[in-house]
Amino acid sequence: MLWNLDGNADAKGKRMSCQIHPTAIVASGAKIGDKVRIGPYCVVDEHVEIGDDCHLYSHVVISGHTRIGCRNRFFPFCSIGHEPQDLKYHGEDSVVVIGDDNTIRENVTINPGTEGGGMLTRIGNHNLLMAYVHIAHDCLLGNRIVMANCATLAGHVSIDDDAIIGGMSAIHQFLRVGRLAMIGGMSGIVQDVPPYTLTAGGYRPGLVGLNAVGLKRHGFSASDMRDLKEVYRLLLQGTGELQSRLEQAYALTDEDTHARHLVDFVQSAKRGITPHRREQRN
């Protein structure tokens, strides 16, 4: 439950269970949950909501219309909720929504949405955003995502559950990264990355097969892997007209399977799919 710091006697009593360092500045309109710890020199603005058991270590600044769930940790020099780096932004009351149990490391920046993108930047649950990660306006992140140091998302990027983004990688605006995809470090991603795949980083990154280790760790069966490999070879390594290959892939897969999810993702791509590296073996 959230309690307004300038509220009634009950709110005052609940506030006593929080630990707010005397050098921190917490606006009177901010809503702070139970057992929240706000460390030295943090700033929390008036429209911010912070759920129970969150910890702001020091020098964290949370601004704008930002709503934060429970048990999140913010390390020093995070900047959350300040206006987006978008010249089309005109001060609209867009929001950042952060779920539960996220770890947000040093110097991470998360910007709110814009009128042209749904007014929302959303971070799910159990994510790890390492130092210097940037989440631009209107990005939508799922759950259990790892973004390594200095990984950067441009605006309107969508990342599905359990994806891993390597350090110093940059993802172009309006792109999608599918579930359980893994992107190697120092990658410049300019097309969608399909679910379950592995992208080799560096100059001109490309797909190099399935994220086999990640899939096994998440309990994918031998038959799941076999079906995904067949669809991968047909859609992402095959030649000929894509529509024909998509029709073949739909005929090979059943609904509500991982393989069908891969087919649906490729079929719905609007900005193309990161290509397979022909010189690599699958």
Active-site residue identified among 134, 137, 258, 261:
137
Q: By C-alpha distance, which of 173, 109, 114 is closest to 147? A: 109
Active-site residue, selected from the candidate residues 45, 52, 86, 138:
138
Instruction: Give the list of residues 6+ apart from residue 225 with CB closer than 8 angstroms, or none.
Output: 210, 212, 215, 216
Q: Say if residue 246 is exposed, middle or buried (CB neighbours under 10 Å; 0-12, 13-18, 19+).
A: middle
- Quick one: 198 exposed, middle or buried, by C-beta within 10 A (0-12, 13-18, 19+)? buried
What residues contact residue 236 under an 8 Å CB cut-off, 6+ apart?
Answer: 194, 197, 207, 266, 273, 275, 276
DSSP 3-state assignment of 245?
A: helix
Contact 111, 84 (CB under 8 A): yes
**Residue 101: active-site member:** no
Catalytic residue among 124, 155, 167, 209: 155
Confirm whether 155 is a catalytic residue: yes
Active site residue 137: yes
CA 120 to CA 74: how far, in whole Å? 20
**Where in the sequence numbering do the catalytic residues fall?**
137-138, 155
